[in-house]
Structure 1
């Protein structure tokens, strides 16, 4: 399908519409469908579901796993990518002994409510830690938590918060500030990048998908987890946490070349993070997998910080009403930050996604 046609038919502006587009495209492509239901509801009373489509031979030795909405509201992008691949005849171009597993709306609650976090208030991509062990500390976030998410958004309170942040940044440096803000923290549920106190429902759903589709029995699994909000506008960076010297990283570099982002080496728009989804796959698959977060840029990080501040304040410090004018202004701002629904941005997204999916499938065929 021509990309300019697809950008008008693959993306949706509400979770429920995105789900229908996905289910229709998966059915038309001959996929088998399975659903993991969330007992909660969306803002319009709609059911919340993580839908999973399997395309290809049931006994395939090689599997590409393409995930949307790990970070909820970022699912508008990932869903469009999944629908585009299905509608563009992706199933017809699969190499032998290869299947694609599309996990639509992993964090369906955040997708529907236009939040990055799950219903537990957790950043799912900080939730993959061992909660039986000592949790990572983030003293910088502890110091700045009341500035990151103050009790009020009035002008004086915000001015004081910004002054505190500016002073901390000047004293500790930008690298330390970014780690304090978003590396992950496990104490302040109302604040941003909270990793939780236990595995979230969405994490348990991913474990259920892994077992249901016997991913542990496959020769090779390559995971592409779609994210938005970091990096140059419209550019998709495959961010990798595999360690230098591992066969996993060697394969990733062979797939995506010099575009690969390596946070541990300071060669990425991201920084090293705690509790990311890579920690889910590694103990289950060892050397038989690759994982990247395909991160699409939107707008600058200061804008992101302020939009997240408002959304976390909205849910922590007042009675939430979806239809309230102030609430809708905050929701529209965070949605646009993580899903700039312009034709130009969507065209860039699909061009890059088609390239990365092709590179991944070629890599699976070569290494699996």
Structure 2
């Protein structure tokens, strides 16, 4: 299927449709997914679940894992890329290679159009050891009330923006980005909150890893779909393994010079705490090579504005799904993190197919 047709076929309007498309693709492929029911419901009372499908020999020594919706609302391109692979890219897998597709690891965020889980946790800051002292983020402490004000009235927002701008002028853009998005563990209603314990989505993913004995495989490639950073429509493969490690050397060998590393300052992202790949490393060690496939949308200041609105909505209101304010805020966060334009969607699937192919070739050759 050509890219534009595929984009029109696999991108969904909401979580319900995305899940239907994924389950239908699995049925067509003759694969029965395993569903992990989330204890919450969606805004329309729908069941929420993480659905998982395995392709290839059950005892494959090498595995490609594709994960969608780590950041909830960012699940649209990941879901489309997964369905596209099942129906168009699957073909004959290389010998001794299996594929594990994890659809909607954060189904609550996907359905409610949030980046966080039902606990208010940024899943991609949640992979820390909660038995140890939690990371500190003094920059966030200074900016919390400006980043997530109690009101969206003009006066309050103007004062908040002045405080953020003053921090930028004093410390620079990179330090501001690290303070804002690096991860924080004290403010449950704040942005990029890493939690005080493992989220349901983290526990579920750990269960999936164990049930498929990924720690017992020889090699695992993980592609985790994200959006919101970088040039519009471009898919940046971000590797935040330790620079120079075997994990990142494989990423460079498989995906080429487009691989970026936040710890070396080459990425649209900055260094962060509690990332999923750190969790994968703890579970699998040197056998895992993880990339976040990050698709650019719009400038980060716009992203901060839509996140601010969404956190205010869930912190300060009862979130009436049919209320005009709710509908406006949800439309804006959806538009920022998952643009519904055919050109963006076409670029997403081009890069998705390329990365999937490179991962399978890399696994087969290793």
Give TM-score scaled by structure 2 length: 0.99
What's the counterpart of residue 309 of structure 2? 310
Q: Check if 1:79 corresponds to 2:99.
A: no
Q: After superposition, give the CA deviation of every residue in 1:65-95 in whole Å (9 maximum; x if it has no partner).
A: 000000000001100000111110x332311
User: Alignment length, in residue pairs?
Assistant: 366
User: In the aligned structure 2, how far is the partner of 1:85 from the partner of 1:191?
Assistant: 36
CA contact (8 A) 1:150 1:157 kept: yes
What's the counterpart of residue 179 of structure 1? 178
Superposed counterparts of 1:194-233, under 5 Å: 194-233=193-232
Superposed counterparts of 1:108-257, under 5 Å: 108-257=107-256
What's the counterpart of residue 26 of structure 1? 26
Give TM-score scaled by structure 1 length: 0.98
CA contact (8 A) 1:11 1:77 kept: yes
What is the aligned-residue RMSD (CA, Å)?
0.8
User: In the aligned structure 2, how far is the partner of 1:365 from the partner of 1:204?
Assistant: 30
Q: After superposition, give the CA deviation of every residue in 1:217-270 in whole Å (9 maximum; x if it has no partner).
A: 111100000000110000000100122222111111001111001000000000
CA contact (8 A) 1:85 1:354 kept: yes
User: In the aligned structure 2, how far is the partner of 1:220 from the partner of 1:32?
Assistant: 24
What's the counterpart of residue 65 of structure 1? 65
CA contact (8 A) 2:243 2:261 kept: no
CA contact (8 A) 2:262 2:269 kept: yes
What's the counterpart of residue 366 of structure 1? 365
User: In the aligned structure 2, how far is the partner of 1:122 from the partner of 1:129?
Assistant: 12
Contiguous gaps of at least 5 residues in structure 1: none
User: In the aligned structure 1, how far is the partner of 2:95 from the partner of 2:32?
Assistant: 18
1:70 is paired with a residue of what secondary structure?
coil
1:39 is paired with a residue of what secondary structure?
strand
User: In the aligned structure 2, how far is the partner of 1:292 from the partner of 1:95?
Assistant: 21
Question: Which is worse superposed, 31-40 or 296-305?
Answer: 31-40
What's the counterpart of residue 331 of structure 1? 330
Q: Check if 1:54 corresponds to 2:86.
A: no
User: In the aligned structure 1, how far is the partner of 2:285 from the partner of 2:344?
Assistant: 36
Superposed counterparts of 1:38-53, under 5 Å: 38-53=38-53
Contiguous gaps of at least 5 residues in structure 2: none
CA contact (8 A) 2:219 2:288 kept: yes
The runs of at least 4 aligned residues of structure 1 exceeding 3 Å deviation read none
2:120 is paired with a residue of what secondary structure?
coil
Q: CA deviation at 1:30?
A: 2.3
Q: After superposition, give the CA deviation of every residue in 1:259-299 in whole Å (9 maximum; x if it has no partner).
A: 00100000000001100001111122111110000000000
User: In the aligned structure 2, how far is the partner of 1:116 from the partner of 1:98?
Assistant: 32
CA contact (8 A) 2:232 2:298 kept: yes
User: In the aligned structure 2, how far is the partner of 1:285 from the partner of 1:320?
Assistant: 40
CA contact (8 A) 1:29 1:91 kept: no
1:92 is paired with a residue of what secondary structure?
coil
Q: CA deviation at 1:124?
A: 0.2
User: In the aligned structure 1, how far is the partner of 2:81 from the partner of 2:109?
Assistant: 18
